Amino acid sequence: MPTALITGGSAGLGHALTTALASAGWDVVTDGRDAPRLREATRALGPRVRAIPGDVTDPTHREELVRAATDLGRLDLLVNNASTLGATPMPPVAALELDDLDGAWLTNVVAPLALAQDLLPLLRTSHGVLVNITSDASVEHYAGWGAYAATKAALDHLTLTLGAENPWLAAYAIDPGDMRTAMHQAAFPGEDISDRPLPEAVVPGLLELLRQRPASGRHRVTEFLDAGRVAG
């Protein structure tokens, strides 16, 4: 059976993708910072999902995730989905607290890189796929998004460089677009974001990406959504 490690599986895109893969017969390791929320979110997903509470910025927690993936015997897919906006309300760069930038850097850049480094041997054995969730903010410039955007731009570069250095690895920086999630709501406090698609609507595009397995690179989910809906 194919296997995956997906960070941030208690809500949003991480939960939607974990649910879809488990339903398709994958064994999935996932995590989340809020233990009760993670337990509740994965309760109905069955024994194929192993949920490990913890924060990806914690090296000890990352070791737990690596051990769990190793216990599966193989790893076909690593999805670094866990992310943070940094301080909210989101300040302009001139007012950005450096400690807040450090926090965003640890979650959005250091943790994904550390997991990729530790799991490359397993991914190599299975000729696996690395998916790092990015954002249009990494290539556009939006007031208030400086810390988040800078970290996602760094993640883009690390992802594509890993792909260049490891030709056997399918390495993707994937922009899922705006979604109706708690994190997106936090970026727009008090605004109605009900017009944004639910994370579940994005999953067919990710599954189609895995099916097509294009060359390593930066992609938008919309590139694959129509084909994914047809295939689904």
Give the model confidence (pLDDT) of 9-27 as tens digits.
Answer: 999 999 999 999 999 999 9
Residues ≥6 apart with Cβ < 8 Å to 121: none
Q: Which residues form the catalytic set?
A: 148
**3-state SS assignment for residue 90:** coil
Cα–chain-centroid distance for residue 186? 18
Q: What is the pLDDT of residues 95-110, one digit of tens each?
A: 999 999 999 999 999 9
Q: Calculate what percentage of the chain has a pLDDT beyond 90.
A: 85
Mean pLDDT, range 162-169, rounded to an integer: 97
CA 106/CA 101 separation, integer angstroms: 9
Residue 18 vs residues 69, 78, 178, 215: alpha-carbon distances, Å: 14, 12, 19, 24
Looking at residue 229, its pLDDT comes to: 52
Cα 220 off chain centre by: 14
Are 59 and 32 within 8 A, CB to CB? Answer: no
User: Quick one: pLDDT band at residue 228, thresholds 50, 70, 90?
Assistant: low
Whether the per-residue pLDDT at 230 is higher than 50: the answer is: no
The separation between CA 25 and the C-alpha centre of its own chain, rounded to angstroms, equals 20
Q: Lowest-confidence range among 45-54, 65-74, 136-145? A: 136-145
The length of the chain, given as a count of residues: 232
What pLDDT is attached to residue 197? 87
pLDDT band with cut points at 50, 70 and 90 for residue 232: very low
| pLDDT (tens digit per residue) in 65-87 | 999 999 999 999 999 999 999 99
- Of the candidates 157, 9, 178, the one whose C-alpha atom is nearest the C-alpha of residue 80 is 9
Q: How many domains, in total, are found in the chain?
A: 1
Q: Which residue has the higher pLDDT, 158 or 226?
A: 158
Structural domain harbouring 138: 3-231
Confidence of residue 189 (pLDDT cuts 50, 70, 90): confident
3-state SS record for 145-189: CHHHHHHHHHHHHHHHHHHHHCCCCEEEEEECCCCCCHHHHHHCC
How high is the mean pLDDT of the chain?
94
Residue 9 belongs to a domain with what CATH number? 3.40.50.720
